[in-house]
Amino acid sequence: MIKILIADDHAIVRGGLKQIIATTTDMIVADEAAEGAEVLEKLRARCPDLLLLDMTMPGISGIDLIRRIRAEYTALPVLVLSIHNEAQVVSRALRAGATGYLTKDSDPEILLAAIRKLAEGGRFIDPKLVDSMIFGTHSGDTPPHDMLSDREFQVLQALAAGKSINDIAEAFALSAKTISTHKMRLMQKLGITNNSELIRYAIRHHISTE
């Protein structure tokens, strides 16, 4: 029996996932978490066979959370289930230590197949994302935001979603000064001089946490 911890801040999403998993005979939802700190708490209390993880939750989330999980639980399969289908986001999640990646519009059969493959020690990427991962970006036309550090990219996503410096600082448990420094550096790397240009860039490249 594959014991699964579902981590998503939306109760409706967690409920839907539980219904899908309940249709099987070889897996069960062992626990749930609605924010990053709770994920770590639940893992320490009882480590499951697989973590089904949303990329965007309150508190610690995304790349930071994946890295912390991977550092403490080196063998735990982590299947990301996200609204984001950009090759850049998928690539960063996999580099951080995720062992699988699916978008939330995937068919239930694909989700179940991914869970089984990861539980057996394999890896899985949403079939719809494979082409963009392999062919979407050629070496000669790599987007400027590919040069950003993971933290800078997270700050860019949050700014694109309309969050303020203080909001981002609180979410990442960092000072507003640190976030402002990340913002300044990412704008320099992207050749952007003001907030309007930043928003236009984010829209053009479909960058957002929402």
pLDDT at residue 114 in the model: 96
| Total tally of structural domains belonging to the chain | 2
pLDDT at residue 92 in the model: 84
Per-residue confidence at 91, pLDDT binned at 50, 70, 90?
confident
pLDDT at residue 209 in the model: 52
Neighbouring CB atoms inside 10 A of 133's CB total 16
Q: Say whether both 29 and 108 belong to one domain.
A: yes
* CATH assignment of the domain containing 172: 1.10.10.10
Query: Looking at the predicted structure, is the pLDDT value of residue 65 above 70?
Result: yes
Token pair in block for residue 113: 């197949």
Q: Is 111 helix (H, G, I), strand (E, B) or coil?
A: helix
Query: Looking at the predicted structure, is the pLDDT value of residue 61 above 80?
Result: no
Q: Strand 100-103 vs strand 27-33: parallel, antiparallel, or unpaired? A: unpaired
* Number of residues in the chain: 210
The residue with greater pLDDT, 207 or 208, is 207
Per-residue confidence at 58, pLDDT binned at 50, 70, 90?
confident
% of residues, the chain, pLDDT over 70? 93
**Calculated CA dihedral for residues 197, 104, 152, 59, nearest 10 degrees:** 120
Q: Say whether both 10 and 67 belong to one domain.
A: yes
Tell me the C-alpha distance between 175 and 183, whole Å. Answer: 13
Tell me the C-alpha distance between 129 and 183, whole Å. Answer: 29
Q: Span 54-67, mean pLDDT?
A: 85
Tell me the C-alpha distance between 29 and 19, whole Å. Answer: 10
- Is 29 contained in some domain? yes
Place of tokens 């699916």: 102
Q: Say whether both 186 and 85 belong to one domain.
A: no
Query: Looking at the predicted structure, is the pLDDT value of residue 85 above 90?
Result: no
Q: Span 206-210, mean pLDDT?
A: 65
- Is 209 contained in some domain? no
Tell me the C-alpha distance between 63 and 202, whole Å. Answer: 19
pLDDT at residue 134 in the model: 64
Burial class (CB in 10 A: 0-12, 13-18, 19+), 18: middle
pLDDT digits (tens, 9 = 90+) for 109-150: 999 999 999 999 999 998 878 766 665 544 445 677 877 888
- Is 210 contained in some domain? no
Q: Say whether both 146 and 49 belong to one domain.
A: no
- Is 93 contained in some domain? yes
- In terms of residue numbers, what domain contains 98? 2-135
| Mean pLDDT score across all residues of the chain | 88
Q: Span 193-208, mean pLDDT?
A: 84
Are 58 and 35 a contacting pair, CB within 8 Å? Answer: yes
Q: Say whether both 176 and 105 belong to one domain.
A: no
Amino acid present at 78: V
Tell me the C-alpha distance between 119 and 50, whole Å. Answer: 7
* CATH assignment of the domain containing 26: 3.40.50.2300
